[in-house]
Amino acid sequence: MTDSPPSIQFFEGISEDLSGISFRRNRSTGVRSILMTFRSLRSIERFQSYTSRFAGGMLLSDSEGKINIEPASVRFVFGGPEGDDLERVECVLEVAREDHWERLMRFMQRYAEANDMIYGESR
């Protein structure tokens, strides 16, 4: 285990800032999903994605280790006067196994604490 701060990366070495998160569960299948929202992506803004290696999905790392997970979907939402300004990126992760879900929850707790985010259930 390392004592590095939690990070989310699409490209190795380029940490992204999570803007929001929502947890859901499909009532019919029991599959849990996480919707992660990013207002911007450093890897796109700086065009560093061309010089850095793609992580093969999302790379989540914290003091417990690394999680490499492929999103079920990624949606780019554009707006602005010309409709070409990136407003946000929505990334959905689906998790069926309980042990994987628990590990992701531990990561999210660490990420929230390290980034002064409020972590808890909505009312």
Mean pLDDT for each consecutive 10-residue tract of the chain (123 residues)? 82 90 91 94 68 68 94 89 88 93 94 84 58
Within a domain: 21: yes
Q: Considering only CA atoms, which of 52, 51, 71 is closest in space to residue 13?
A: 52
Q: How many domains does the chain have?
A: 1
Within a domain: 32: yes
Within a domain: 1: no
Q: Which domain holds residue 106?
A: 7-114
CATH number at residue 33: 2.40.30.220
Within a domain: 123: no
- Confidence at residue 100, expressed as pLDDT on a 0 to 100 scale: 94
Report the distance separating Cα 77 and Cα 97, nearest Å: 30
Within a domain: 38: yes
